[in-house]
Structure 1
Amino acid sequence: MALLHRAELRPSKLDLLATWLPGRPWFAGAAGADVTRVASYRFDDPAGEVGIETLLVRAGDGPVLQVPLTYRGAPLDGADEWLVGTMEHSALGSRWVYDACADPIYPPALAAAVLAGAGQAEEYFEVDGVRDVRPPSMTVTGGRAHGVEPPAVGAPREVVDGEPTLIRADHVELAVVRRPAPGAAPSEAALTGAWPGQPTPLVLAYAR
């Protein structure tokens, strides 16, 4: 489960992305356009230390873009090139925001969804000791590698930033679809998602 905070963020996540996205090789849309949120989903960090959130956004009238992010309370060593930016969280203090594809906490979570059918984390606020669950803004469905035991997946050995973005870890290569579009999944081990305005599930990630 993902504990959320009713907090103010400076700058906001979307403001960070408006600056960062145009420099990505898979970006589509007008540079300088407002970035709007379409939907989002989260995975759990077993240690409860790192936020793992995937945003689906648009830049102006461009297509939907998938942006997995991690939120950390301290800089991640050796990951400067994957830093999206920093923001001040009114409840948690300074937060370092990274492209999750290069964060060691993300591949195991993504692999659990793609290879073993794990779903998204339930999101909730805690008010006076009572959990207030937030309804998901989209539905994601994990895949499964039929006939084989899903391998243990660790930190990425290599990340190739493109469309799709490839995460090469021991035993598996994961592909994150940056511009989800209709079409068949390249693999039976895939993560799909649907959201209001997009009732037909689209492929979000898969194993190669």
Structure 2
Amino acid sequence: MALIYRADLQPSKLDLLRGWLPRQPWYAPDTASAGKGSTSTGSTSTPPTQTQLSTVGSFRFDDPAGEVGVETLFVQVDEGVIHQVPLTYRGAPLVGAEASLIGITEHSVLGTRWVYDGLGDPVFLAVTVNAALNGGRHADEFVDVDGELILREPRALVRGSGTDSGAGSRTISPPAVAEISTTSSAHDSTTSFAAFDVVVFRTPEPAPRASGSPTQATPPQAGQPDNRPTNAVLTATWAGQPVEHTLVRVTTAKNL
């Protein structure tokens, strides 16, 4: 479960993202409204209204160690495109992950928090791969209200396409930061580590169009290593989006 504090953040998550998002190659501002609010009189002009960001959905995964907050936001730009933004929250800097640092915020309960792009954080990668391959789901979120934990209505419903096979399920540990390599395009971000490629669709599309269903090659013969390639996905629905959208595709070249 994820414990949510009734706390203030200075600056807020969206304040941090307002400076970070425009630097990303996949960021798509609402160009139709870019000039809204601008006026001109002679040689003077009023600058356009600042881009508005809003969170239209979100979900969390549990960090088994209980140290790192793992949350994905669905951030809408003005009234247009919705971007998927995985974040992690840490109580100390993640050494070696400076390029993935989005910013630092003050949490009124937990103190200083370092906010990272999830694709550069080993904990996000591990919990995401495990959820996709093993048919996992979003974490239940509880709000601490005067010492009583109240279950919060989920803001997104997330599930992995893999199969939870008990003792045979694949469970990976967080990789070392030095193992992680991330590239981004106009539509997605891909992180590679060990035998895994993790593709995050920054502008999620309906599941049938974004990526194929999970596939598994022919099982090996008895006594042979299991080197079957496997694809699995995470899909989600959220308020105003009842059709499942593909969030993440995980590909692994071999069983670890």
Counterpart position of 1:186: 212
Counterpart position of 2:42: none
Q: What is the distance in 2 between the residues matched to 1:40 and 1:138?
A: 6
Amino acid in the other structure paired with 2:131? A
Any residues of structure 2 matched to 1:1-208 within 5 Å, and which?
A: 1-30=1-30, 32-144=50-162, 150=170, 152=172, 154-155=174-175, 156-162=179-185, 163-182=187-206, 183-188=209-214, 189-208=232-251
Q: What is the distance in 2 between the residues matched to 1:84 and 1:114?
A: 25
Residue 196 of structure 1 and its aligned partner are, at CA, apart by: 1.6
Unmatched runs of 5 consecutive residues or more in structure 1: none
Unmatched runs of 5 consecutive residues or more in structure 2: 35-49, 215-231, 252-256
Identity %: 43
Q: What is the distance in 2 between the residues matched to 1:114 and 1:16?
A: 28
Q: What is the distance in 2 between the residues matched to 1:115 and 1:49?
A: 23
Amino acid in the other structure paired with 1:160? T
Cα pair 2:6 2:144 within 8 Å, conserved: no
**Secondary structure at the counterpart of residue 114 of structure 2:** strand
**Secondary structure at the counterpart of residue 242 of structure 2:** strand
Q: What is the distance in 2 between the residues matched to 1:82 and 1:10?
A: 20
Segments ≥4 residues shifted beyond 3 Å: 145-151
Q: What is the distance in 2 between the residues matched to 1:4 and 1:166?
A: 29
After superposition, the C-alpha distances for 1:69-94 in whole angstroms (9 at most, x for unaligned) are: 00011111111111111111100111
Amino acid in the other structure paired with 1:13? K
Q: What is the distance in 2 between the residues matched to 1:51 and 1:151?
A: 19
Q: What is the distance in 1 between the residues matched to 2:73 and 2:62?
A: 15
* Bigger radius of gyration among the two: 2
Q: What's the Cα RMSD here?
A: 2.0
**Secondary structure at the counterpart of residue 39 of structure 1:** strand
Q: What is the distance in 1 between the residues matched to 2:17 and 2:84?
A: 11
Q: What is the distance in 2 between the residues matched to 1:84 and 1:161?
A: 16
Distance 1:67 1:2, change over 3 A: same
Cα pair 2:61 2:138 within 8 Å, conserved: yes
Residue 186 of structure 1 and its aligned partner are, at CA, apart by: 2.9
Distance 1:168 1:153, change over 3 A: farther
Cα pair 2:143 2:150 within 8 Å, conserved: yes
**Secondary structure at the counterpart of residue 177 of structure 1:** strand
Cα pair 2:90 2:114 within 8 Å, conserved: yes
After superposition, the C-alpha distances for 1:9-65 in whole angstroms (9 at most, x for unaligned) are: 111111111111000011011484011111000000111111000000012133110
Q: What TM-score do the two structures reach when normalised by structure 2?
A: 0.76
